[in-house]
Amino acid sequence: DNKAQAIAGFSSADIGHLQWVSDSRLLFDLNDKTASEGERIYAPGLFAVDRDGTHFRQLAERANHFVRDGMAKKLLPWHTFMLSQVGAQDSEWVYVTDNNIAGLGDLRDVALLRLNTLNGRTEEVSRPGDTMGWVLDNKGAPRLTYTLDKSMRNIYLRDSGNDTWRKVASFDTYRGGLDAFTPLAFGPEGTLYVISSKVKDRAAVHTFDVATGKVSEQPLIQLDGYDFSGRLIMRGDKLLGIRYLRDAYDTLWFDSDMKQMQEAVNKLLPNTINMIDLPTHAETANVLVTAYSDVQPSVYFIYNSETKKLDRVGASRPNIKPSHMGAEEEVRYTARDGLEIPAMLTVPLQSSGKNLPMVVLVHGGPYVRGSRWGWRSDVQFLASRGYVVLEPEYRGSTGFGEAHFRAGWKQWGLKMQDDIADGVKW
């Protein structure tokens, strides 16, 4: 019936991340948007509540403690964090991490805890040393972890139902190499998918042979001109598709039924990129559709795959009028030493595009990707005032290949700065 019910909120903080624990229970942390960017990652707290607002419980401490009558006083430490992966979602239990942080943000190791969100009880998962990260399989069980010994990253795997960890790979974290990879996910059949840069300088999705310790020679998916960034879309015992980022976020479907559903949704919403998110379990014909473009902030719909009807349920910024926004495109220009620099360029509405004032938005990091195609408030604010907006991905930025990233090494304030100036001249 499109009615919303608030089930949790605080007067001095914002809800941060959330995920389903089960069909009836939610896990979430907090975010203080009045704090500076770097401070927000610390002490987010951890809370759980049922979907009807009952059985609220604080599970982990926070810098600003929230106290409720009758709450158990023993809480997990402030450095307890949610996993980005969801678990089995079939009980009140979830997996969370205990991050051993020393000094000014120095991460020493990461332990994995199994947490009961109703009573706060925890069980620590056995580990092969000072682990730094974890991957759950598609059934929600811990299957992979890694340690860092000086510069060497050691990958450990355990078989389903077994507590014994075995080393399956080892490589230099900083120098990389053909055998280096980042774990992505386990497929329904137990296949380990990884991200590797062994082909054409671009990070791509490969499979990893746990018996030989080798990354596959040919990638499952490789994006022309971009490193792979995204996730696998799985349900039940099938890999359905891949959500990925090129200039914008989009989806590649392997499953024929999902291809047909995507085509049907696109016909109903022809002016936007339409991303379909599936429920974890297939008890319903409903899917979530997020529609967006460079001039349209995200709008959310429920699509019923049986009735073929689309029901709008909400919008991120309902007062924005797409017809008033400036168009955005990805461009590439050549720096003075010949290196190709990707950038986003937004031109004000109803302008010739010539002899206009310009603002260059320079991303921080610097070793991050700065922008993607889509609606953004700071860009459109400037465009609405008549400015062209240029967002260069100068050398040292990530997402455009290893060579582009490494070209920024020891070039802070030097060639990185030239890339920005060359963009202005272009």
The C-alpha R_g of the chain, in whole angstroms, comes to 23
Q: Give the H or E element holding residue 262.
A: helix 256-268
Measure the CA angle with vertex 238, ends 94 and 298; round to 5°: 70
- Per-residue pLDDT of 33-73, as tens digits, reads 787 766 666 788 999 999 999 999 999 998 744 444 444 45
Q: Where are the beta strands (DSSP E) in 159-247?
A: 166-172, 182-186, 192-196, 204-209, 214-215, 230-235, 238-245
Predicted pLDDT of residue 38: 65
Backbone angles phi, psi at 381, to 5 degrees: -60, -50
Q: Average pLDDT, stretch 354-376?
A: 94
Q: With contact defined as beta carbons under 8 Å apart, do 47 and 28 qualify? A: yes
The answer to whether the beta carbons of residues 384 and 354 sit under 8 Å apart is no
Contacts 24+ apart (CB under 8 A), 268-275: 268/303, 268/310, 269/301, 269/310, 271/296, 272/296, 272/299, 273/248, 273/249, 275/243, 275/249, 275/250, 275/251
Which residues are within 8 A (CB) of 225 and not within 5 positions of it... i.e. 6 or more apart? Answer: 202, 246, 342, 400, 401
- pLDDT, mean over the chain: 91
Structure tokens at 254: 């392997």
Element (H, E) at 415: helix 415-425
- Residue whose C-alpha is closest to residue 102's, from 92, 110, 93, 113: 110
- Could you tell me how far CA 29 lies from the centroid of its own chain? 16
Q: Where are the domains of the chain?
A: 259-318, 325-425
Local confidence band at 280 (pLDDT 50, 70, 90 cut-offs): confident
Higher-confidence residue of 385 and 66: namely 385
325-425 folds as Rossmann fold (3.40.50)
Per residue in 159-217, pLDDT tens?
877 889 999 999 998 887 778 999 999 988 889 999 999 888 899 999 999 888 899 99
3-class SS of residue 341:
strand
Task: Give the pLDDT confidence score for residue 70 in this predicted structure.
Answer: 47
Q: According to the model, what pLDDT value does residue 69 have?
A: 46
Q: Which two tokens stand for residue 8?
A: 């949790």
pLDDT tens-digit map of 238-274? 889 999 999 999 999 999 999 999 999 999 999 999 9
Beta strand 358-360 pairing with 388-392: parallel
Q: How far apart are CA 26 and CA 53, in angstroms?
A: 10
CA angle 164/166/169 to nearest 5° reads 160
pLDDT digit string (tens) for 86-130?
Answer: 888 999 999 999 999 887 678 899 999 999 999 999 999 999 999
Give the predicted TM-score (pTM) of the model. 0.89
Which pLDDT does position 40 carry in this prediction? Answer: 65
Residue with the two structure tokens 């490193």: 227
Q: Are 383 and 348 in contact (CB under 8 A)?
A: yes
CA distance 63 to 71: 17
Q: What angle do CA 256, 258, 261 make, to 5 degrees?
A: 115
Share of the chain above pLDDT 90, in %: 76
The amino acid at residue 274 is N
- Both structure tokens of 67: 């106290």
